[in-house]
Amino acid sequence: MKKDEVLEHFVRITNGKFSCYSESFRTISNGYFFIAKQNGVKNLIVIAKKGICNKFEGEKVGVIDIEKKDLDVLVCPRNHHNLVSLREFFPNLSPVTCNRVTSFGTGDRLGLATKAHANAFKGKEFFPVFAQQSVRELSRTKRTWRDVLDDASWGVFQSGFEGAFGADADHVKSEKDLEEAFNEGYTMFTIDPSDHVNDV
């Protein structure tokens, strides 16, 4: 079934309560995924066979008959658990090491701009580093390494960007911060050795 038809089905069974981000629409065998907003809150929508839906945390709001298959409809929060499940089907939502000659770090400090950044990179030859934040900025914005990477990945998903991207842990001074960023999946590390440099 075509994207517009699936979205129309969803809007109809939810009585028009959601606004769909059509550019986020992605498909797999027996499954459809996209972002939709209700009352100012963005949700992950999963329309899929039960075995797929069981991987996600969310509320079942109905069933849609698509191509003679009954698919459950879930409204899911954009949380870490659901992002991990989503990455199983769409690996490009996880950062990788830089695979191009030219890269560009966007530095979405508040986690609100990655969708726009990703749109700007569509069709370009640059390697984008969408998740990029320093330890100092984490402290000031009260965010974590996970928050930064998750927000960037959700922005990539919402934009429909299908290329690869990186994640940079910036101005890292301690082994603790380095290990935390590595364990969250960061692929680039900018070390700040200033505390160990002797002034001449």
Superfamily name with CATH number, domain 93-196: Aldolase class I (3.20.20.70)
DSSP letter assigned to residue 163: S
How confident is the model over 90-121, as pLDDT tens digits?
999 999 999 887 888 887 778 788 888 998 88
Q: What is the pLDDT of residue 111?
A: 78
Q: What is the pLDDT of residue 108?
A: 76
Q: What is the pLDDT of residue 191?
A: 84
Residues lower than pLDDT 70 in the chain: 200
DSSP letter assigned to residue 78: -
Give the CA diameter of the chain: 76
Q: What is the pLDDT of residue 117?
A: 92
Q: What is the pLDDT of residue 167?
A: 92
Q: What is the pLDDT of residue 193?
A: 80
> Which residues touch 137 (CB under 8 Å, ≥6 apart)?
109, 143, 170
Q: What is the pLDDT of residue 124?
A: 87
Task: Find the DSSP H helices in the chain.
Answer: 3-13, 50-53, 80-89, 114-121, 135-141, 145-159, 175-184
How confident is the model over 30-47, as pLDDT tens digits?
999 999 999 999 999 999
* Residues 35/158, Cβ–Cβ less than 8 Å: yes
Q: Which two tokens stand for residue 192?
A: 């700040």
Q: What is the pLDDT of residue 67?
A: 80
Q: List residues bridging with 127 in a β-sheet.
A: 103
Q: What is the pLDDT of residue 13?
A: 93
* Residues 23/13, Cβ–Cβ less than 8 Å: no
Domain ranges of the chain: 3-89, 93-196
Q: Which two tokens stand for residue 19?
A: 């606004």
